[in-house]
A = this chain, B = another copy of it.
Amino acid sequence: MTHYAEEMTQLKESLLAMASHAESAVTRSMRALVERDDLLAQSVLDDDNIIDQFEVEIDDIAIHLLAKAPVATDLRLTTVAMKISQNLERIGDSAVTIARRGIELNTEPQLKAYVDLPRMATMALEMMREAISAFINREPDKARAVVRRDSEVDNLNRQLHRELSSYMVERPATISRCLNLMVISKCLERIADHATNIAEDVVYLYEAIDIRHSGQKLYEDKDPGS
């Protein structure tokens, strides 16, 4: 294997490692919410810098690769890797926000059992995993499927937003809790958005068609519930 190929492999491996850290952060932040576990939430806050460091590292590898004047496809792949890393970093930020809001929620009694939020988290993380795997394994079809799923999470967020709004009107004492839950729901919706951004870049990369901004259809659900 040439040195160049080795570096390309390293780029992909770092991305996979970063994605797995981001996934773990989201999973832990949600478990901390459901189990009302402040310590677990705190671990998400403490580990955020690991994800941040990955972004720096991936940028450096990418710049190195770009400097070696490879073929056009590799250029695109490398710049897409940088974009993916930026999206993963923001998924990590969303996990931090979920963890923080979970800690705030733990200072009051729980409003009701969480059903929709864990479901949204599962969907968003599935989308993220599929998008990353589509990138690594050159599967634009799989990436397209991720883009199509974005509206599912958007709809759940919108529905939950409506429910929580009515709840606040009926029981003003729950307002601060409802607000925290709205923010968490919005974070999960945003994680799905980042997965969608990654998937759109992967489709573009492998099909050289820019579906990122191909028209209203993809974006008609862009502003769900906030």
Known: A52-B212, A63-B75, A82-B82. 5 other contacts (CB 8 A): A52-B213, A56-B210, A67-B75, A69-B69, A93-B222
Q: Given A55-B212, A62-B79, A79-B79, decide whether A97 and B223 contact each other with a Cβ distance below 8 A.
A: yes
Bound CA–CA A19/B56 (angstroms): 25
Which chain B residues border A72 with CB–CB below 8 Å?
Answer: 63, 67
Binds B, one of A8-16, A105-113, A165-173: A165-173
Interface size on A, residues (CB 8 A): 40
Listed A/B pairs (23) with beta-carbon separation below 8 Å:
A49-B215, A55-B212, A56-B210, A56-B213, A59-B79, A62-B79, A63-B75, A63-B79, A66-B75, A67-B69, A67-B75, A69-B69, A79-B79, A93-B222, A96-B223, A165-B175, A165-B176, A165-B179, A168-B172, A169-B172, A175-B175, A179-B182, A186-B226
A78, chain B: closest CB distance, angstroms: 8
Copies of this chain present in the complex amount to: 2
A183 at the interface (CB under 8 A from B): yes
Instruction: Give complex CA distance A69, B72 in Å.
Output: 11
Cα–Cα distance between A91 and B116 once the two chains are bound (Å): 29
* Docked CA distance A96–B220 (Å): 12
B-contacting residues of A (Cβ < 8 Å)? 49, 52-53, 55-56, 59, 62-63, 66-67, 69, 72, 75-76, 79, 82-83, 86, 93, 96-97, 100, 165, 168-169, 172-173, 175-176, 179, 182-183, 186, 210, 212-213, 215, 222-223, 226
In the complex, how many angstroms separate the beta carbon of A69 from the nearest chain B beta carbon?
3
Q: Which residue of B lies closest to A168 (CB)?
A: B175
Residues of B within 8 A of A183 (CB): 226
Find out whether the CB atom of B66 lies under 8 angstroms from the CB atom of A223: no
Chain B hits for A213, CB < 8 A? 49, 52-53, 55-56
Per the bound structure, the CA–CA distance linking A67 and B55 in Å amounts to: 23
Question: Which residue of B has the minimal Cβ distance to A201?
Answer: B59
Chain B nearest CB, measured from A30 CB (Å): 17
Distance in angstroms from A48 CB to nearest chain B CB is 8
Residues on the B chain within 8 Å of A52, using CB: 212-213
